[in-house]
Amino acid sequence: MSFIELSNVSFKYPGQDFLVLSEINLSIEKGEFISLCGANSSGKTTLGRLINALLLPIEGKVIVDFLDAKIQSNVIPIRKKVGMIFQNPDNQIVATTVEEEVAFGPENLCLPSAEIRERVERALSITGLKDYRNYPPHLLSGGQKQLLAIASVLAMEPDCIIFDEPTSLLDPSNRRIVINKIKELNDNGMTVLLITHRMEEVLLSKKVIVLKDGKITFTGSPLDLFSLNTKALIELNLYPPEIVQIINKLREKGLYIPKEIVNSVDLVNYICQ
Amino acid sequence: MSIEVKDLTYIYDEGFVFAKKALSNISLNILEGEIVGIIGHTGSGKSTLVQHLNGLIKPKKANTVVIDGVDIFDSKINLKEIRRKVGVVFQYPEMQLFEETVEKDVSFGPRNLNIPEEDVKERVKNALEMVSLDYEKYKDRSPFLLSGGEKRRVAIAGILAMNPKYLVLDEPTAGLDPWVRVEILNELLAINGKGTTLVIVSHDMDEISKIASRIYVLNRGSLALEGSSDYVFSQFERIKELGLSLPQITEILYMLNKKLGGVDYNKLDIDSGTDEILSCIKRCNKWK
C-alpha cells in the first residue's frame, strides 16, 4: 500500500449540487514529488484538503499511512503526518515573533520544552531564518513569510507537505528562494505535493497530475505534459506556458524541436548547435 | 490634467529603530488616458507610492504630489474629492469584500455619495458589466461564495462604481490563474478604452509589456528606469541587474544575439519573435 491512497474519492461542498471531485484515484509514495495542475475551480485545493483530512470525502476512501481519514480518531494523526502551506502566508501566521510562530505547533503538541527548542532550531536553520528569530513576522518580506510558514510546518515534523500555490503571490526572486527550498526538502526525503500553475515548478517534479472539472485528466511526466501541443493543453484547461507556446509555434513553422527541450537556455543551445 | 509626483521621499517610522526609507526622490507623471506600468520587486516601494496617489499617505513637503493641479499636501483641500478622482484597488482587494450580496458590496461606495438610488443601481450595473459579470446572475449572490477570479472582479467593480478618473491597481492579477489573468487584463484594456486612466503596479514584466504604454521601474525606493515600454524592454542588462524577468521570447532572442549576433531582439510577442528565430536559423545555415 502506498503512503497516501485515494480510492474512488468524490466530494461536494454542503449546499452545492455538483461534485467538486469525482472518482479520484491517486497514490503517493513516500519521498515522491508530485505536482498538481488545473485551472481555477478544477478541484486542486479541495484535493489537497482531502489528503490532510481538513475535508472528508462523501464517497470513497482517503488513507494516509494506513490511517483511514473517515475515522475521527485518525484525523489528528493524519494532520501531523501531512502539513499544509497555503498561497498567502499571512493567513497562517499567528504569533508575534518568528521564533514563537515556529514554536506554536509543537507547543500545542504538549512536547517538553527542550524538544520544542530543538525543533524550532532545526526548522529555523533549514529555512535560513535563524537571523530573524526575534523579528515580528509582519516585518519579513513575502518570501521570508512563506519560509516562516514552511518552518512552522517543519516543526511539526510531517512526512508530507502539501503546498497550495506557495509562490503565486511572490516576486521572481522570492519565488526562486521558496521553490528551491521545496526542492531541497524533497531531496532530503520529504514527500511533496505541489499545487501550481507554473511550469518551471512543475518541471521540478517527477510526476504531474492534471485536474479538470474534478476529474484527473492527465498523469505522467512533466516532459510528456509539455510536449503536448498548444491545443491539447488548452483542452486540459491548462494555459500553455510562454516557452511551450514559443516551441509549439516554432514546430508549427516547420522547425523540429525534441521534447526534452522545455526551457529557454536549452532552446537557444539547440538552435545554435 | 495629470497626476504629478515630484521629488517624493517617504520614510516609515521616521526617528524610530525600525525607520525605513521606502521612497527616495521619486518623480513621475501620469497623463490622462494613459496606461502606466509601475514595476518593481517586493519591497521596492510600489505600494507606498500608490498610497500617495490618493492621499492615504500625505507627503511631508508641498508640491510633491499634485493631482489635476491640486497639491494634496495642502491642508485645506478636500481629500474626499481626491479619493473619488483616484480610485485605488489594493493588493488582494477581495479581502475587503464584506457585504451579504454582490449588489450591496459594489453599491457601498456610490451609496455613500448621496446620489439617487436609481443612479446607484445604474453604476453598479455598469461596473459589474465592465468586469464581465452579468448583473442579474450575480447581484444576489454572496461575494464569499464566488471563485477567486470572480471575487477579484467584484472588488474591482466596487471601485469602478465610484467612477474614478484615474484607476490605480496594485498587483491586479496576483494569485490568479493564467486564464483569469488574461481575461482581467483584457477587461482593463476595455476600461481604459472608455477613457479611464490606468496605473498598474506589478512585478510581472510580461503582463506589463502586454498592457502599458509607459513604464516606471522602481528599485529599493528609487526610480531605476523609465520610458516607453519598448525603451524599457530594450534595456536588457539593466532589467537583469534589477532581478526582473523579461518576456521569454525577448530573452531567447537576446541570448541568441549574444551567441550569433545580428538578431533583432526587440520583439515582445511570440509570432514576430519566432519569425526572427527562424530567419536567424536560415541565415546561420547559409553561413555554414
pLDDT, one tens digit per residue, over A18-39 is: 899 999 999 999 999 999 998 8
Greater pLDDT, A205 or A88: A205
Greater pLDDT, A59 or A260: A59
Q: What is the pLDDT of residue A84?
A: 94
Q: Looking at the structure, do residues B141 and B83 belong to the same domain, yes or no?
A: yes
Q: Looking at the structure, do residues B260 and B138 belong to the same domain, yes or no?
A: no
**Cβ neighbourhood burial of A18 (10 Å; 0-12, 13-18, 19+):** exposed
Q: What is the pLDDT of residue B201?
A: 93
- The domain locations on chain A are 4-228, 241-273
Q: What is the pLDDT of residue B247?
A: 82
Q: Looking at the structure, do residues B264 and B283 belong to the same domain, yes or no?
A: yes
Q: Looking at the structure, do residues B233 and B269 belong to the same domain, yes or no?
A: no
Residue A57 has pLDDT above 90, yes or no: yes
Query: Shortest CB distance from A173 goes to which of B243, B256, B273?
Result: B243
Q: Looking at the structure, do residues B18 and B155 belong to the same domain, yes or no?
A: yes
8 Å CB contact of B203 and A171: yes
Q: What is the pLDDT of residue B20?
A: 86
**Cβ neighbourhood burial of A131 (10 Å; 0-12, 13-18, 19+):** exposed
Phi, psi of B224 (to 5 degrees): -100, -25
Q: Match 461606495 to its residue by C-alpha cell.
A: B109
**Cα dist from B202 to A167, B60, B90, B171, B268, whole Å:** 15, 26, 12, 5, 17
Q: What is the mean pLDDT of residues A79-99?
A: 91
Chain A contact set for B176 (CB, 8 A): 40
Q: What is the pLDDT of residue B136?
A: 95
Q: Looking at the structure, do residues B45 and B165 belong to the same domain, yes or no?
A: yes
Residue A172 has pLDDT above 80, yes or no: no
Q: Complex ipTM above 0.85?
A: no
Chain A contact set for B180 (CB, 8 A): 40
Query: Shortest CB distance from B249 goes to which of A237, A246, A271?
Result: A246
**For a pLDDT cut of 70, what percent of chain A falls above it?**
100
Nearest CA of chain B to the CA of A2: how many Å? Answer: 31
The rounded distance, in Å, linking the Cα atoms of A37 and B148 is: 16
Q: Looking at the structure, do residues B13 and B85 belong to the same domain, yes or no?
A: yes
8 Å CB contact of A143 and B42: yes
Q: What is the pLDDT of residue A180?
A: 93
Q: What is the pLDDT of residue B287?
A: 57
Residue B283 CA neighbour count, 13 Å, CB half:
14
8 Å CB contact of A239 and B148: no
Total number of domains constituting chain B? 2
Q: Closest Cα to residue B37, out of B278, B198, B259?
A: B198
Query: Shortest CB distance from B252 goes to which of A139, A170, A264?
Result: A264
8 Å CB contact of A88 and B92: yes
Q: What is the pLDDT of residue B209?
A: 85
Residue of B183, B204, B248 to mutate for A, most A C-beta atoms under 10 A: B248
Three-state DSSP at B36 gives strand
Per-residue cell: A188 = 532530503
Q: Looking at the structure, do residues B182 and B264 belong to the same domain, yes or no?
A: no
Q: Looking at the structure, do residues B65 and B195 belong to the same domain, yes or no?
A: yes
Residue A110 has pLDDT above 80, yes or no: yes
Contacts for B237-245: CB closer than 8 Å, 24+ residues apart: B239/B205, B242/B41, B242/B217, B243/A172, B243/A173, B243/B41, B244/A172, B244/B39, B244/B40, B244/B41, B244/B203, B244/B205, B244/B217, B245/A172, B245/B205, B245/B206
Q: Looking at the structure, do residues B275 and B219 belong to the same domain, yes or no?
A: no
Q: What is the pLDDT of residue A175?
A: 87
Q: What is the pLDDT of residue A24?
A: 96
Per-residue cell: A9 = 474519492
Q: Are B247 and B268 in contact (CB under 8 A)?
A: yes
Q: What is the pLDDT of residue B75?
A: 86
Domain that holds residue B253: 247-288
Q: Looking at the structure, do residues B217 and B275 belong to the same domain, yes or no?
A: no
Nearest CA of chain B to the CA of A246: how many Å? Answer: 6
Other beta carbons within 10 angstroms of residue A114's beta carbon come to: 8
8 Å CB contact of A268 and B273: no
8 Å CB contact of B270 and A41: no
Q: What is the pLDDT of residue A63?
A: 96
Q: Considering only the top CATH level, what class is A4-228?
A: alpha beta
Q: Looking at the structure, do residues B82 and B162 belong to the same domain, yes or no?
A: yes
Nearest CA of chain A to the CA of B255: how many Å? Answer: 7
Query: Is A211 part of the contact surface with chain B (CB cutoff 8 Å)?
Result: no
8 Å CB contact of A271 and B280: yes
Per-residue pLDDT of chain B (288 residues; tens, 9 = 90+): 899 999 999 999 888 888 888 999 999 999 999 999 999 877 788 889 999 999 999 998 999 999 999 999 988 899 989 999 999 999 889 989 999 999 999 999 999 988 999 999 999 999 999 999 999 999 999 998 888 889 999 999 999 999 999 999 999 998 788 888 889 999 999 999 999 999 999 888 888 888 999 999 999 999 999 999 888 988 888 888 887 878 888 889 988 988 888 888 878 788 889 999 998 888 877 655
CATH number at residue B180: 3.40.50.300
Chain B contact set for A40 (CB, 8 A): 147-149, 176-177, 179-180
Torsion angle of the four alpha carbons A147, A151, A152, A157, in this order, in degrees rounded to the nearest 10: 140
